[in-house]
Amino acid sequence: MKQFKGRVVAPGTVKAEALVSHGGLNTLASFQKALQFGDKTATCGDQNNKDLYGKQMAGKALCLPQTIGSTTGGLVLYCACSMNRQPACLLFSNPIDSLAAAGSILASVWLEDVSMPVVDNLGEEFLSYVQDGMTITVQEDGTVEVE
Q: For the segment 124-141, what is each residue's pLDDT rounded down to a tens digit?
A: 999 999 999 999 999 999
CA angle (29 as vertex; 24, 35 as ends), nearest 5: 125
Are 14 and 121 in contact by the 8 Å Cβ rule? The answer is no
CATH 3.20.20.60 for domain 2-146, yes or no, is no
pTM above 0.75, yes or no: yes
- Give the integer Cα–Cα distance in Å for 14 and 140: 9
Is a pLDDT exceeding 90 seen at residue 70? no
Residue 2: other Cβ atoms inside 10 A: 12
